[in-house]
Amino acid sequence: MAQHVKLFTPGPGDVGDEVLDAMAQPALRHYGPDWMVIHNEVMALLHQVYKTQNDIFMVPGPASAILDMSIGSLVDTGQKIIIGNNGFFGERLNDIARGYGIQIIPFTAPLGEQLDPEKLKFILSENPDVKAVAFVHHETSTTVLNPLRELAEVIHQAGKISIVDTVSSMASVPLEVDDWNIDVCVTAANKCLESVPGIGFVSVSPRAWQQVDNQTGIQHGFYLNLKTWRKYATEWGSWHPTPVTMPTSVILGLRASMLRILNGGLEAHYAKYKNANRIVRRGLSNLGFEMFIPESIASPMATAVKARPEFEIAEMSTWLLNERHMAIGGGLGNLSGKIFRVGHLGLSAERDYLIEFLFSVEEFLRTKGLPVPVGSSLAGLE
| Region 3-22 residues binding ligand PLP, contact defined as CB under 6 A | 11
Question: Is 83 one of the binding residues for ligand PLP (CB under 6 A)?
Answer: no
With contacts defined by CB under 6 A, name the span among 17-25, 71-79, 161-169, 222-230 that binds ligand PLP.
161-169
End-to-end CA distance of the chain: 36
Question: Is 165 one of the binding residues for ligand PLP (CB under 6 A)?
Answer: yes
Question: Is 136 one of the binding residues for ligand PLP (CB under 6 A)?
Answer: yes
Indicate the residue among 91 and 116 with the shorter CB distance to ligand PLP: 91
Cα–Cα distance measured from residue 364 to residue 376, given in angstroms and rounded to the nearest whole number:
13
Residue 60 Cβ, how far from ligand PLP at the closest point, in Å? 11
Question: Is 346 one of the binding residues for ligand PLP (CB under 6 A)?
Answer: no
Non-local (6+) Cβ contacts of 2 within 8 A are none
Non-local (6+) Cβ contacts of 63 within 8 A are 165, 167, 186, 187, 188, 200
Cα–Cα distance measured from residue 45 to residue 41, given in angstroms and rounded to the nearest whole number:
6
Question: Is 89 one of the binding residues for ligand PLP (CB under 6 A)?
Answer: yes
Question: Is 64 one of the binding residues for ligand PLP (CB under 6 A)?
Answer: yes
Question: Is 167 one of the binding residues for ligand PLP (CB under 6 A)?
Answer: yes
Question: Is 277 one of the binding residues for ligand PLP (CB under 6 A)?
Answer: no
Indicate the residue among 85 and 168 with the shorter CB distance to ligand PLP: 168
Question: Is 62 one of the binding residues for ligand PLP (CB under 6 A)?
Answer: yes
Question: Is 202 one of the binding residues for ligand PLP (CB under 6 A)?
Answer: no
* Among the listed residues 85, 114, 140, 142, the single contact to ligand PLP using CB under 6 A: 140
HEC string of 131-178 equals CEEEEECEECCCCEECCHHHHHHHHHHCCCEEEEECCCCECCECCCCC
SS3 content of the chain, % helix, strand, coil (to 5): 45, 15, 40
Residue 161 Cβ, how far from ligand PLP at the closest point, in Å? 19
- H/E stretch holding 56 reads strand 55-60
How many residues of this chain interact with ligand PLP, rule: CB under 6 A? 12
The Cβ of residue 302 has, within 10 Å, a number of other Cβ atoms equal to 31
As a whole number of Å, the CA-based R_g of the chain is 21
Cα–Cα distance measured from residue 306 to residue 313, given in angstroms and rounded to the nearest whole number:
9
With contacts defined by CB under 6 A, name the span among 19-27, 162-170, 224-232, 333-341 that binds ligand PLP.
162-170
| Residues contributing to the site for ligand PLP (CB under 6 A) | 11, 62-64, 89, 136, 138, 140, 165, 167-168, 188
